[in-house]
Amino acid sequence: MNPVMVDGTGMCGACRLMVGDQVKFACIDGPEFDGHLVDFDQAIKRSQMYKTEECRVMLKQQEGNTHHGGCGNCEEITNG
Ligand code: FES
């Protein structure tokens, strides 16, 4: 499993997974788990929580200051 990892210490919870009936953290308990026991539905939902922010950061890197991606500040930026 390679979920989003923030601190890599088991403290932030970003990489939390359910494996069987146990909570696991990919950064400290994995990243390898018995695939038959991983709750993939939950893992996919959790990974999608970060998708918007990841895309926003990626576009900002690609487009620099020309990127105005739904942050709610566009009007403020364009109007000074
Ligand atoms: S990366 Fe933060 S708990 Fe695993």
**Model pLDDT for residues 40-60, shown as the tens digit of each residue:** 999 998 888 777 877 778 777
Q: Yes or no: say if 25 and 16 are a contact pair by the CB < 8 Å rule.
A: yes
* Confidence class for position 3, pLDDT limits 50, 70, 90: confident
User: Which residue has the least CA distance to atom 2 on ligand 1?
Assistant: 12
Name, in order, each residue with C-beta under 8 angstroms of 65's C-beta and a sequence gap of 6 or more. Answer: none
* Confidence class for position 79, pLDDT limits 50, 70, 90: very low
Q: Express each pLDDT in 9-35 by its tens digit.
A: 998 888 999 999 999 999 999 999 999
User: Which residue has the least CA distance to atom 3 on ligand 1?
Assistant: 10
Closest ligand 1 atom, residue 6 Cα: 1
Identify the H or E element spanning 22. Answer: strand 22-25
Would you say residue 80 has pLDDT above 50? Answer: no
Would you say residue 64 has pLDDT above 90? Answer: no
